[in-house]
Structure 1
Amino acid sequence: MAEERDSAETLVSEIHKKITDAFEVFDHEFNKTVDIREIGTIIRSLGCFPSEGELHDIIAEVEEEEPTGYIHFEKFLPVMTKVLMERKFRPIPEHLLIQAFEVLDQQKKGYLEPEELKKHLTQEGEPFTQEEMEEMFSAALDPDKNVIFYKDFVSMMTIEET
């Protein structure tokens, strides 16, 4: 029983260190606060990938009653600790992402045209912004063929689960 408690305390301690390190990167004033616009980046750097709606829920939970535009570390730490302990917002596995692209690739060509993909990603579901589309195309678009070979793109963009 004591070993389990020590193990849990070690895990929590490691998670707190990860969160602290990530938060401090964006704490430019060294005053235990970060700009609210950086929270998504901090959360993603910790291996969590919430949707925009889920990110807004997290921000609402850690934001001050009177919004200041800044998030305080002491409010962020317990919420983010819980998220990491529960392994919430894990990345989508590579095979599921490929399946999603295959649904869009009805002719089974192995690639998608940029305009075709842009239509799906900006008009359905949680729409991408123009900036997000440009960023994705800069990484996904094959410069020679001007198409997205989605299997290559997915394997480049996914990380192995540890």
Structure 2
Amino acid sequence: MADKSNAESIIAETQKRISNAFDVFDHESNKTVDVREIGTIIRSLGCFPSEAELHDIIAELEDEEPTGFVRYEKFLPTMTKILLERKFRPITEDLLLQAFEVLDQQKKGHLEPEELAKYLTQEGEPFTQEEIDEMLSAAVDPDKNVILYKEFVSMMTFDDTR
């Protein structure tokens, strides 16, 4: 019986986290959020789906007739399942660091902003200019005008202690 009680407690705590995150973006207090905020809400809960996966989640959440809004009663069960199944977990700090080291072919310990921007637009799922600008504003060392990626990686990794 203790296992059932523990499971119920975990579900209740998970749903409280989801509710709190959803409420931040429910600007009209009508249990709906703008569909464009769904990715932000999901990421705030420690899940990091690709853009394609996010698109699939949104398609599942929107009613048969997309209105541009997602209702809480649709979001809660879907997000509860995602969190309990530990889907879309963040990449580890070590793996992210390895990725930067692959890009740093001269083993300088840093990347030039233009170099990273090129990789982000020409390889894989391309970043938008706005995403690149936002990332570079956080990543570029203002004194050296380079990306000291070891520092950047430790700053941007998610502490997954849940």
TM class, shorter-length: over 0.9
Displacement over 3 Å in runs of 4+: none
Q: Percent identity, aligned pairs only?
A: 73
Partner of 2:101: 102
Unaligned runs of 5+ in 1: none
Counterpart CA distance in 1 for 2:27 and 2:118 is: 38
Q: TM-score, normalised by structure 2?
A: 0.97
Counterpart CA distance in 2 for 1:144 and 1:24 is: 39
Matched residue count: 161
Partner of 2:159: 160
Partner of 2:69: 70
Partner of 1:45: 44
Counterpart CA distance in 2 for 1:36 and 1:46 is: 16
Counterpart CA distance in 2 for 1:24 and 1:160 is: 23
RMSD of aligned Cα (Å): 0.7
Unaligned runs of 5+ in 2: none
Q: TM-score, normalised by structure 1?
A: 0.97
Q: Provide the secondary structure at the position in 2 that maps to 1:71.
A: strand
Counterpart CA distance in 1 for 2:137 and 2:148 is: 13
Q: In the TM superposition, what is the alpha-carbon distance from 1:116 to its structure 2 partner?
A: 1.0
**Which residues of 2 match residues 84-103 of structure 1 at below 5 A?**
84-103=83-102
Report the AA paired with residue 19 of structure 1.
Answer: I
Partner of 2:120: 121
Partner of 1:16: 15
